[in-house]
A and B are shown apart, each in its own frame.
Chain A
Amino acid sequence: MAKVDFKVPAVGEYLEIPDLQPGVMAKSAPFKAAPRHQQALGFPGELVENWEERAVAKLAELLSKYRSLRVHLDACVKCGSCADKCQYFLGTGDPKNMPVARQDLLRSIYRRHFTLAGKLFPRLVGARDLDASVLEEWYSYFHQCSQCRRCSVFCPYGIDTAEISMAAREILDEIGVGQKYCNEILGKVHTIGNNLGLPAPALANTLEGLEEDVKEDTGVDVRFPLDVQGAEVLLIPPSADFFAEPHIDGLIGYAKVFHQAGISWTLSSYASEAANFALFIGNYEQMRKVALRIRKAAIDLKVKRIVVGECGHAWRVAYSFWNTLAGPFDFLDPRYPVPQHIIEFTHELIERGAIKLDKEANDHMRVTFHDSCNVARATRMGARPGGQFVLPREVIKASCNHFFDMAPETIGEKTFCCGGGGGLLTDELLELRVKGALPRMQALREVQKEHGVTHMAAICAICKSQFSMVLPYYEFPMETIVSVHQLVSNAIQLGTNS
């Protein structure tokens, strides 16, 4: 475990609401984007001279484009319903990590410039002028929100802090203060096609290696096809699936499922990334540009279906936004939803007996499931509302004998973010990420004690990376986190019906 200069929160018997510790996280901030990262996306390279004006003008533009922003800035009554719901507040005690207080960082400027009360009586309604200290607060605390939407579940008006923090980040980009992690990665997607900057030959090489590994492991020729024209399915996985642990075991799982189902599939070197970090910076045009690569790949490869791999925010963009951003997908087979999640795909095969699973293969594991925030609160799977909770659990239960859910207030629509979502999965935010993971670690500890749970499955690349990093801080083995399709991969009976 790495040396740390902060205190890892203690996991108690219950999750306690912390006392307020003002300013304790004020120093937390991600690295700023270099001018070249900014300019590659069409943003100013550094803080522009008349940034106050530009920021207010951008806010005005966003207010006219997004009803969510306008309504959500107006409607808050400061009831405090959301105040104890954010994992970053629960983990840090910093009051500016209460969702309402985070919103107020922007709302105070909105009131000053766009409301009569704020123009006439700023102190009465908490309106303030935009100055350098506000800018610093914005940069710090809007990068302490993982846009997980947990607060929006509990808000009587559905106010979604994610919408506010996306708007704030968009304003920051507009005035030249971007975040390095997200903006550098977006540049790579636009030029190379994935977040890692993995070029086509390296990708082909990786996939060949995987074919050899699986052959060695199972004796079966499971293919990992790349750029195959006319395949039935285009699979869009998060690029972390190509190299990271435990992600790669999930990718192997997908491949085995396709193999066993006898459905031809392909990856695309042009669009080898499900992730769309433009969501995190709230930028519609960037998000659209990334989504359009996938449309182009699907057209060029003449596929009939698009299936998305295990990635939370990617599934949000795919499920909720692709049709808007890059639709209509009328060139695909209309018998299938566009897009489909790999869980939906596998679930359907299990239901109709097209693949066989030997649960005993996972008997060494006692498994729980972490609902990823974006999947849980921003998407659906299957035909019925809530299918995003049911389908993954059914796939897990079909793959292993020992499954136990965590406490009900920590799963389903009330699930906690892993602590690394929303563009925060970067090393310089480690303290925030460790502390923000507290509520999940607490829930995991409980099922560990009660049911002897040994593994936590997830369907999100960010969750998997985040947990691999933070689990050891809470004295869980790093290998506790597994991919859902890793369980499928272990259990699937290759060669039984093909």
Chain B
Amino acid sequence: MPIMTVIYALLLYGAAAVFVLGVSYRVITYARTPAPLKIPTMPAPVTRTGVAFRVAREVALFESLFKSSKWTWIFAVMFHLGLLLEVVRHLRYFIQPIWFWVVLVQPFGVYGGMVMVVGLLGLLGRRLLIARVRYISQPSDYLMLLLLLGIGLSGLAIKFLDHTDIVSLKAFVLGLLYFDWQPLPDSPLLLAHLSMVAALLIVFPFSKLLHAPGVFFSPTRNQVDDARERRHLAPWAAQLEGAGDEV
């Protein structure tokens, strides 16, 4: 087995493990931390179904961002939608036979990569050019965009400049899944692409990428407006009751 195959197999296993365990840990922490007070940003839905739609609109349409800044919204949608298309397109490496709808997505998937890169360049441009956004940016904010740009550009380069043997690549990926390792095609661009994807998975649970699970747990968005109808009491707050109360 080539040494590169071993290194990348271990790297990708490690990255996937960090991602899954790290994000799970965060999600469990969020879920277990009580929200003692009703703080939905009003007007808020008065039913659970309504709240599900509100969160869904936030996740799928970036509703609040749309209210704020149309340019940021456009770039953010381009990036996220492009990334989503690409992720779906990449499913073909993980499944055999390939699902019908994944086949359907393939021709659009390529554009997803391009749209994603344009969106990222737009977001980077904003960060560099608008004084307010520059002021609030940390080095990690730029690095994150560069990492994602690197993933997008290396992916596009593999597609258009230096086509990799994707049959062997698929054999490698399936080999990882079924613990039956196959050699990784020897392409510098592919190695760069995979390294950056691994890096993204590893930093995910320790960085602002936690906005992805976070949006589902934000009390201002996921609480029902029913404070008068239903008594809402956190366990730690319930313990205050009775002790020394005058009434």
User: B206: which A residues are within 8 A, CB to CB?
Assistant: 115-117
Residue B21 interfacial (CB < 8 Å): no
Inter-chain CA distance A72–B207, complex, in Å, is: 13
Residues of B within 8 A of A157 (CB): 58, 211, 214-215, 218, 221
Residues in chain B near residue A328, CB distance under 8 A: 231
Interface presence of A263 (CB below 8 A): no
Residue of A284, A319, A413 touching B43 (CB-CB under 8 A): A413
Query: How many chain B residues have a CB neighbour from A under 8 Å?
Result: 66
Bound Cα distance A71, B211 (Å): 8
Are A19's CB and B72's CB within 8 A? Answer: no
Closest to B218 in A: A158
Q: Is A65 interfacial (CB-CB < 8 Å)? A: yes
User: In the complex, what distance in Å separates the CA atom of A379 from the CA atom of B225?
Assistant: 8
Min distance, Cβ A265 to any Cβ of chain B, angstroms: 20
Given contacts A285-B240, A321-B227, A388-B42, is CB(A68)–CB(B219) below 8 Å?
Answer: yes
A67 at the interface (CB under 8 A from B): yes
Is B167's beta carbon under 8 Å from chain A? no
Docked Cα-Cα span, A19 to B232, in Å, equals 44
Does A77 make an interface contact (CB < 8 A)?
A: yes
Cβ contact within 8 Å between B64 and A80: no
A81 close to chain B: CB less than 8 A? yes
Contact B34 A123 (CB under 8 A): no
Segment at the A interface, from B102-110, B125-133, B176-184, B192-200 = B125-133
Asked whether A71 lies within 8 Å of B228 as measured between CB atoms, the reply is no
Q: How far is it, in angstroms, between the C-alpha of A339 and the C-alpha of B247 when the chains are bound?
A: 18
Distance of B176 from chain A, by nearest CB (Å): 26
Q: Are B132 and A84 in contact (CB under 8 A)?
A: yes
Stretch at the interface among A146-154, A222-230, A458-466: A146-154
Contact mask for chain B residues 42-86; partner A; CB cutoff 8 A; 1 contact, 0 none: 111110000000000010001011011100100010000000000
- Pick from A17, A71, A77, A323: contact of B217, CB under 8 Å: A71
Q: What total count of A-B pairs have CB within 8 Å?
A: 214
Within 8 A of B (CB), among A371-405: 376-380, 384-386, 388-389
Instruction: Please name all residues of chain B whose beta carbon is closer than 8 Å to the beta carbon of A17 when the two chains form the complex.
Output: 132
- How far is B42's CA from A389's CA once the two chains are assembled, in angstroms? 11
Instruction: Report Cα–Cα, A362/B236, bound state, in Å.
Output: 51
Assess A385 versus B240: contact at CB under 8 Å? Given A70-B29, A117-B207, A125-B138. Answer: no
Which residues of chain B have C-beta atoms less than 8 A from A288's C-beta?
A: 240
Is A199 located at the chain interface by the 8 A CB criterion?
Answer: no
Contact of B139 among A123, A321, A323 (CB under 8 A): A123
User: Given the complex, which residues of B lie within 8 Å of A123, measured CB to CB?
Assistant: 139
Q: Beta-carbon contacts of A49-90 to B below 8 Å, as 1s and 0s?
A: 000000000000001111110111011111111111100000
Among the listed B131, B203, B220, which residue makes an inter-chain contact with A19, where contact means beta carbons less than 8 Å apart? B131
Chain B nearest CB: distance from A314 CB in Å? 14
A451, CB-defined interface residue at 8 Å:
no
Whether A324 is near chain B, meaning CB under 8 Å from some CB there, is yes
- Which of A40-48, A244-252, A292-300 participates in binding chain B? A292-300
Contact present for B133 and A83 (CB under 8 Å): yes
Chain A contact residues (Cβ within 8 angstroms of B): what range?
35 or more
Q: Does B92 contact A (CB under 8 A)?
A: no
Contact digits for A205-248, partner B, Cβ 8 Å, 1 yes 0 no: 00000000000000000000000000000000000000000000
Contact assessment for B135 and A95 in the assembled complex, using a CB-CB cutoff below 8 Å: yes
Separation in Å of the A212 CB from the closest CB of chain B? 35
B136–A100 touching, CB < 8 Å: yes
Q: Is B124 among interface residues, defined by CB-CB distance under 8 A? A: no
Bound: A482/B177 CA distance, A: 70
Contacting residues of chain B (138-165) with chain A, CB-CB under 8 angstroms? 138-141, 143
> Given A70-B30, A156-B65, A337-B228, are A65 and B137 neighbors across the interface (CB < 8 Å)?
no
Alpha-carbon distance A65/B220, docked complex (angstroms) = 16
Once the chains bind, are B42 and A78 in contact (CB under 8 Å)?
Answer: no
Does chain A have a CB within 8 A of B90? no
Query: A101 in the interface, Cβ–Cβ < 8 Å?
Result: yes
CA of A169 to CA of B164, assembled, Å:
57
Q: For A66, A74, A389, which residue has the most chain B Cβ atoms within 10 angstroms?
A: A74
The answer, among A74, A101, A378, for a CB contact under 8 Å with B214, is A74
Is B6 an interface residue when CB atoms closer than 8 A count as contact? no
Whether a CB of chain B sits under 8 angstroms from the CB of A160 is yes
Please state if A77 and B133 are interface contacts (CB–CB under 8 Å): no
Per the bound structure, the CA–CA distance linking A71 and B138 in Å amounts to 19
**Which residue of the partner chain A has the closest CB to B132?**
A83
In the bound complex, do residue B37 and residue A324 qualify as a contact, i.e. CB atoms below 8 Å apart?
yes
B76 CB to nearest A CB, Å: 7
Return chain A residues, CB-CB under 8 Å to B139: 123-125
Q: Is the CB of B141 within 8 A of A67?
A: no
* Chain B positions within 8 Å of A98 at CB level: 132, 135-136
CB within 8 Å of A: which of B108-134? 126, 130-133
Q: Does A424 contact B (CB under 8 A)?
A: no
Question: Which of B30, B45, B67, B210 has a CB less than 8 Å from the CB of A154?
Answer: B67
Is there contact, CB below 8 Å, between A67 and B237?
no
| A320 is an interface residue with CB less than 8 A from chain B | yes
Interface membership of B39, Cβ < 8 A: yes
A20 at the interface (CB under 8 A from B): yes
- Beyond the given A157-B215, A385-B42, please list 5 additional residue pairs across the A-B interface where CB-CB is below 8 A: A98-B136, A154-B65, A324-B37, A327-B231, A385-B45
Report 14 cross-chain contacts, Cβ distance below 8 Å, ordered by A residue.
A71-B214, A74-B211, A75-B211, A75-B218, A80-B130, A80-B136, A124-B138, A158-B41, A158-B220, A338-B228, A380-B42, A380-B43, A380-B225, A388-B43
Where the two chains meet, the residues of A that have a C-beta atom closer than 8 Å to any C-beta of B are: 17, 19-20, 63-68, 70-72, 74-85, 95, 98, 100-101, 104, 115-117, 121, 123-126, 149, 152-160, 163, 284-285, 288, 292, 295-296, 299, 319-321, 323-324, 327-328, 337-339, 376-380, 384-386, 388-389, 413-414
Closest 3 CB pairs of A and B: A75-B214, A158-B220, A154-B68
